[in-house]
Structure 1
Amino acid sequence: MGFLSVIRRWALRDKMPIREIARRTGLSRNTIKKYLRAGIVELRFQTPARPSKLDPYAEKLTGWLVTEQRKSRKDRRTAKQMHADLVQLGYDGSYERVAAFVRTWKGDRQRAQQTTDRGTFVPLVFQPGEAFQFDWSEDWASVGGERIKLQVAHIKLSHSRAFLVRAYLLQTHEMLFDAHWHAFRVFEGVPGRGIYDNMRTAVDRVGVGKKRDVNARFMAMTSHYVFEPDFCNPAAGWEKGQVEKNVRDARHRLWQVMPAFPDLDALNVWLEERCKALWTETAHGSLTGSIADIWEVEKPALMPLPTAFDGFVEHSKRVSPTCLITFERNRYSVPASFANRPVSLHVYPERLVIVADRATCGLEILLRAGGASWHSHLM
C-alpha cells in the first residue's frame, strides 16, 4: 500500500510522466494507468481456492482430535502420530499441513471455550418497577463555610431512569439506610430488586460466582422494604452501568454548578429539587418522552411505600464515671443518672440515641456536620 501511495504522489502531485514512473518502479505503463484510472488507494488480492490434499481426510482428523481431547494428556496421540495414521489411510501430503490443521482446530476450540466461560453479554432491558441501581461516589461541596469531601449516594430506577443524589459524611450503614428511605420516598414506591456492587456495608464475604454472605443488618433493611438484593460480579461495573453513568453525569450537572450551603440538610434539599427538575429536562433516550414522563408510567408498578426502616447501627457502650460516652473519637456528656451504666448507642445519620436497659426513654444527641457542634435533650 505504501508503494501505491508513492505512485499516486508522483503522478498526481509531482506530475511525473507515466513512462518515468514505469522506469523507476519496474511496473508496466498499463498497470500504472489502471491503478490511477480506478483511483485505487489500497491493493486487494484475491487468493484463488486451492484444494488441499488433506480435505478428504479433514472429517476423520477432526473426529480423532475430539476423541483425543477426552483422554488424559499422556495418553493422547501427537500430530506426528496422527499424520502416520493418515498415511496408512492413503494420505500422501506433508506432516506440516496436518500440524497446521491441528493448531487451527485447537485454537478455535480454546476461543470457543473462553467465550462460553465468560458468557455472552447483551444490553440489559428492565421492565417497569423491576429494579434500581445503587452506587457511592466522592465529591466536594461548600458546607457551613468550609469545603468538605462528601460521600454521595446515587440511586436510579432502571426502567424510567429517575434518580436521586444524596450527600453524607460517611459511607456507613446508617447513611446507606437513610439514602434508601429518601430514594423510595422520592420515587413514591419500591422496585422489586436492587443492584449493587460488593460494598462492605452490604457484603461480608464474596463467594464463588453469585454466592455472597450478606450483612445481617443490610438484609434486615431489604426485608423491610421487600426487595431482592442482587450483587454484581467483581470488577463488572457494566452490570450497573446506568448508575455508573449517573455518577459521571452528576459531576457537571450538579456539583460544578451548586452554590454554598449553611448545612448538610440544606444541601440535600437542593439536590432533591435539582434531581426532580432534571427528570423533566432530560429525555429518556430509549423511550419517547422525558424521564419524568416514563417515571409517571412506572409508578403504578412500584410497591407502595412502607414506613421508614429504623436504620440505626447499635453499639454497646459504658458511660464513664465522669458522665461521658465516646463515639468516633468524640466525647459526649450525659446526665449523671447514666454514670457507670452500660448503655446501647443507636447511631443515625443525624443523631445518636443512648438507651439504658432497653428502656423507651433515653438521651438523644443531635449532630452537626463534622460532629463539632451538637446539643442533647431527653427523649
Structure 2
Amino acid sequence: MITMSQKYQSLIQYMQEGKSIRKVARDIGIHRETVSKYVKEYEQKRKQLMEGGEDVEVDALIESLTEKPIYTTGSRPKRKLTPEIEQRILAFLEENREKRQKGQRKQQKTVMDMYEVLEDEEVDISYSTVRRLVRQLEHKAKEAFIKETYMPGDVCEFDWGDVRITVDGRLQTFQMAVFTSAYGNYRWACLFPKQTTECFQEAHARFFAHIGGVHTTLTYDNMRVAVRRLAGDKEPTEGLMQLMMYYGFHCRFCNIRRGNEKGHVERSVDVIRRKAFSNKDIFDSLEEANHYLETLCSEKLNQKPMSQYEGQTPKQRLEQEHEYLLEAPPKWDAARVQYARVDKYATLVIEQNRYSVPDHLVGEMIMVKVYAERIRCFYNEACIANHERLSGHHRWNLQLSHVLETLQKKPGALAGSLALHQADQKIKDIYKTYYTGKERDFIALCHYLRDEGDLDGVLTAIDQLAAMHPKHVTTDKIKAICDKNNEQPVTAASMSQDTEAITEQARTHMSDYDQLFQMKAPKEGVH
C-alpha cells in the first residue's frame, strides 16, 4: 500500500530533483507505472489550476492535488465468494429467522456453524469471508435512545439477578431482588432462595417498609412472576395485582428483550453484585448475607455523591422524594398458602423438601404458609411448626422436639437419627458427653426442654452437677436444680408487706370477736 509520504517523495524527486521515473521508483521502492500515474495526474491538474477559467473548480483541484493514494479494491471481482455461496448463506440466515420466531433462539447457527457446513460441502472459502458476508447481510440501523426526565416519587424499577455465594458451608445460587429509583438512583437489594411469587411479594413489602413509602409506578421486564400473558396487551399476574391493589401503585412492562427501557436497575444489578460479593462471598446464613448486602447499599452505594445530580447522594435524592411517595400501609404478609398431608416420617413435602411436624399428626392434613425465608405449619388454627425455608431440592429440616413420642417408643433409633444430627450443637454435646447409652433419660430431658425448661437453665444445672462429678448429671437432678433456681426469692419488702396484711386481717378478726362478745354479754342484774 502506497503511503502519502511515498507519493510526496515521488513527485518531489521527479519535479524538483529531475530524477527519471525509473530512478524514482527504484529509490522509493514502488512500481514505476505507479510513479508515472502520480506524475501525469499531478501535472495535468496543476496545469488546469494555473490556467484557471470559469469552468475550473479550484477547490476540487486543490483537494485532488493533496489527496491520499486511493485503492479501488471494492471493485475487484470476488474470487471465492460466488453468487451460489451467497445464496447458501442467505438460506442459513433465513433459517435462523424462522427459529427465532419459533422460540428456538438458542438453536440458531453461528457464523462458525455456517462455515463448517460449507466446509463439509467442500466449498473453497475462508471463515473470515463468511463472517464478513454475514455481518454485511445482517447489518441493521443502530437504535436511537430517548433521554427521559423523572419526577420525584414517580418511577422505581425492579429486576432479578443471580448471585452464587457460599451459605452454611454450601455453594448455592440465590436470586437477588433489586430496586432502583429513577429520580435519584437509590439502590436496595435483598437475596431470596427462588424467583417465586412469595419472594417477589416479600421483596416489595421489605423495600416499601425500608423507604417508608411507595412509588407511583413500578417498572418490570417480562418476568414470569409479574406478567401472565405476553401476547397483545400484557396482563399482570395475580401476585402482582395483589401488590398493586394493596399498595396502590401502577405497573409498566418493558418491550421484549429491551432491558435498556429500565436501564437504571439493569446497571444496578451488575454494580451491586460486583461491589458486594466480589470481596465477600462466604456467610453462615442467608440472614447474615442479607444484613451485609443492605448495609453495603445503605452505607456505601447510596452515600456516594453523583455528578449528574450536582454532587447529591442517592440517599439525599430519596429524602427529596419522601413527600411525593404514596403512603405505605402496614407490611404485606407475603405468604403462599397450601395444604399438605403428614407422611410416615412426620414431615410435609414442600417444593421437594421435607419439614417436620409433631409426630402425633401423621396422616393429618396441615395448612402451610410458605414465606420467602420461612415455612409455618398450622393445625386447627394453631401454629405447630416454624422452619427456615430450604433452598435446593430433596433436603430435610427436622426438629428433635417433633419426634420425641416416636423416640420414646424406639430409643435405640436416637443416636443415628437425622433429627439429632440437625439439633442445636449444644444439645448434641449434652448427649455425647453425658447421655451416651442413656437414651431414655436423654429423651426425658428433651421432653422437659420442650414443655417446661429452657436450654440456658439446663446448661447451668449441668455445669453445677458436673462440677461435683459427671455421674451426677441426670435428668431428675437437672429438673430439681432448675426448679430450685426458678423459685422467687423472698425479699424483705415482700416480707414486710405480708406481715402488714396478716396484722390487718388479725385486727379485723379481733374487732369481729369484740362485737360478738358484746352482743352475748349478760345484762346487769340478770342471773
- Name the TM-score, length of structure 1 as normaliser: 0.69
Does 2:32 match 1:9?
A: no
SS in 1 for 2:282: coil
Alignment partner for residue 234 of structure 2, among 202, 212, 237? 212
Partner Cα distance (1:361, 1:226) in 2: 31
Alignment partner for residue 347 of structure 2, among 314, 324, 333? 324
Residue 217 of structure 1: how far off its partner (Å): 2.4
Partner Cα distance (1:240, 1:200) in 2: 17
Residue 337 of structure 1: how far off its partner (Å): 4.6
Question: Hey, what does 1:314 align to over in structure 2?
Answer: 337
Partner Cα distance (1:183, 1:12) in 2: 72
Partner Cα distance (1:365, 1:159) in 2: 39
Structure 2: unaligned runs, 5 residues or longer: 22-33, 50-60, 71-140, 403-527
Residue 253 of structure 1: how far off its partner (Å): 1.8
User: Please, what is the CA RMSD of the aligned residues?
Assistant: 3.2
- Does structure 1 conserve the Cα–Cα contact (< 8 Å) formed by 2:153 and 2:325? yes
Residue 161 of structure 1: how far off its partner (Å): 0.8
Deviation track 1:238-292 (CA, whole Å, cap 9, x = no partner) reads 2111111112222432221225221111111111111112111241625542222
Alignment partner for residue 201 of structure 1, among 220, 225, 237? 225
Q: Which has the higher contact order (CA 8 A, sep 6+)?
A: 1
Alignment partner for residue 41 of structure 2, among 14, 27, 30? 27
Deviation track 1:331-372 (CA, whole Å, cap 9, x = no partner) reads 223224533222222101221122235x25443223356565
* Amino acid in structure 2 at the alignment position of 1:218: L
Question: Hey, what does 2:263 align to over in structure 1?
Answer: 241
* Amino acid in structure 1 at the alignment position of 2:213: G
Does 2:169 match 1:145?
A: yes
Residue 377 of structure 1: how far off its partner (Å): 8.1
Q: Provide closer, same or farther for how the CA distance between residues 343 and 224 of structure 1 changes in structure 2, counting only shifts above 3 A.
A: same
Q: Provide closer, same or farther for how the CA distance between residues 284 and 141 of structure 1 changes in structure 2, counting only shifts above 3 A.
A: farther
Does 2:201 match 1:188?
A: no
Moved more, 127-136 or 285-294: 285-294
Residue 163 of structure 1: how far off its partner (Å): 0.7
Question: Hey, what does 1:81 align to over in structure 2?
Answer: none
Please show how residues 1-379 of structure 1 align to structure 2 within 5 Å. Answer: 6=3, 8-12=5-9, 16-18=13-15, 20=21, 23-25=36-38, 26-29=40-43, 31=45, 40-41=67-68, 122-208=146-232, 211-276=233-298, 277-283=300-306, 285-320=308-343, 322-356=345-379, 359-367=381-389, 372-373=396-397, 375=399
Partner Cα distance (2:179, 2:376) in 1: 27
Deviation track 1:67-126 (CA, whole Å, cap 9, x = no partner) reads xxxxxxxxxxxxxxxxxxxxxxxxxxxxxxxxxxxxxxxxxxxxxxxx9xxx98522222
Deviation track 1:6-36 (CA, whole Å, cap 9, x = no partner) reads 5653215996434758733321436369758
SS in 2 for 1:257: coil
- Does structure 2 conserve the Cα–Cα contact (< 8 Å) formed by 1:160 and 1:284? no
Partner Cα distance (2:247, 2:355) in 1: 33
Partner Cα distance (1:174, 1:243) in 2: 21
Deviation track 1:208-238 (CA, whole Å, cap 9, x = no partner) reads 1xx2232212211222122112111212212
Residue 316 of structure 1: how far off its partner (Å): 2.4
**Which is helix-richer, 1 or 2?**
2
Residue 41 of structure 1: how far off its partner (Å): 4.6
- Name the TM-score, length of structure 2 as normaliser: 0.51
- Does structure 1 conserve the Cα–Cα contact (< 8 Å) formed by 2:355 and 2:398? no
SS in 2 for 1:17: helix
* Amino acid in structure 1 at the alignment position of 2:43: R
Partner Cα distance (2:364, 2:397) in 1: 25
Q: Provide closer, same or farther for how the CA distance between residues 339 and 248 of structure 1 changes in structure 2, counting only shifts above 3 A.
A: same
* Amino acid in structure 2 at the alignment position of 1:354: C
Question: Hey, what does 2:117 align to over in structure 1?
Answer: none
- Does structure 2 conserve the Cα–Cα contact (< 8 Å) formed by 1:198 and 1:232? yes
- Does structure 2 conserve the Cα–Cα contact (< 8 Å) formed by 1:156 and 1:164? yes
Q: Provide closer, same or farther for how the CA distance between residues 320 and 146 of structure 1 changes in structure 2, counting only shifts above 3 A.
A: closer
Q: Provide closer, same or farther for how the CA distance between residues 308 and 13 of structure 1 changes in structure 2, counting only shifts above 3 A.
A: farther
Give percent identity, aligned residues only: 22
Q: Provide closer, same or farther for how the CA distance between residues 322 and 7 of structure 1 changes in structure 2, counting only shifts above 3 A.
A: closer
* Amino acid in structure 2 at the alignment position of 1:269: H
**Which is strand-richer, 1 or 2?**
1
Partner Cα distance (1:7, 1:122) in 2: 42
Partner Cα distance (1:301, 1:283) in 2: 22
SS in 2 for 1:285: helix
Q: Provide closer, same or farther for how the CA distance between residues 259 and 15 of structure 1 changes in structure 2, counting only shifts above 3 A.
A: farther
Partner Cα distance (1:147, 1:366) in 2: 18
* Amino acid in structure 2 at the alignment position of 1:260: I
Moved more, 162-171 or 119-128: 119-128
Partner Cα distance (1:374, 1:324) in 2: 8
- Does structure 1 conserve the Cα–Cα contact (< 8 Å) formed by 2:4 and 2:68? no
Partner Cα distance (1:42, 1:192) in 2: 62
Residue 141 of structure 1: how far off its partner (Å): 1.7
Q: Provide closer, same or farther for how the CA distance between residues 144 and 202 of structure 1 changes in structure 2, counting only shifts above 3 A.
A: same
Partner Cα distance (2:397, 2:210) in 1: 29
